[in-house]
Structure 1
Amino acid sequence: MAEIALPRLGPLVYLDEEALSVLSGFGVCHVFPKGTVIIREDERQINLYITLSGTLEVITHVNHREVRLATLGEGDCFGEVAIFEPGTASATVRAVEDSQLWYLDVDHLQAFLQEYPHAGCGLILGVNTILSQRLQQANKLIKTSQIVPGFLSVRSRRAAAAPTP
């Protein structure tokens, strides 16, 4: 795999230059032309992607309408859930303009973690920070929208739905 200079941004913020250089060899760098769908909602997804340049949009469909969830740029990542829990993508990611991405799959991530555990801890810490921030944002959205998630118990849903005095 070709080596690329990875930026010390997003999930890579805790890695030093040497670790970034080593990590780059475990992944693939690719330019996705404008309009290209990189991952599609509900399809199998096993990669962590990091945006090196360009702009991407994260979209989903609600009532047969396209809804933009986020716009991603340099240093942003997506697919971070898949490296811990491979499965289907929760949204579609599409290139708004020509975008250069670096990505690695679960197998190459595991190889990196085994060969370079100290640097691997930095990467996992960076990904964990992003996951935590996104969870906090989702919690705020649920709270402000008064959405009651289906995973709550019946008792919790009733309490959440009850009017406050």
Structure 2
Amino acid sequence: MANYIQQIRRKVGHMPIILTSASGALLNDNNQVLLQERTDTGDWGFPGGYMEYGETFAQTVVREFKEDAGVIVRPTQLLLLSDDVQYTYPNGDAVQPVNCFYLVEYVEGELLDTQTDETVALHYFDMDQPPRFFNQQHAAMFAAVQAYLNGK
């Protein structure tokens, strides 16, 4: 069921709703993490997004990486389940995202090199130099990657 969120928003407007999402951390050989500069805020975040009806969290993160970053990934480990953030998008949509955040591994494809409707740019960041994040949920995900790398 494509555009599930749009269908819900047509019914409820900007009313606060709980949505499920999945995102992932893709590390390169230098243990830098791939982040996405967002078109809606200009801030940075992990590739990911909201589930479509009938999807699993793992399927969602794979689809979203393809859409947001141009690459196919495989989720390998759940790093964080977060449900403690409420956020209002610039368009007024209020959400409480329940997010499964995975460590993912590269399978195939090339990173996007042109802007899309959701991605301005993609960049690998050092783990000691985080950018300005989209919201506190993405900052917590960055901390989860740091903890994972420190525990290796």
Q: Which has the higher helix share?
A: 1
The normalised TM-score by structure 2 is 0.26
Larger of the two Rg values belongs to structure: 1
The normalised TM-score by structure 1 is 0.24
Q: Which has the higher strand share?
A: 2
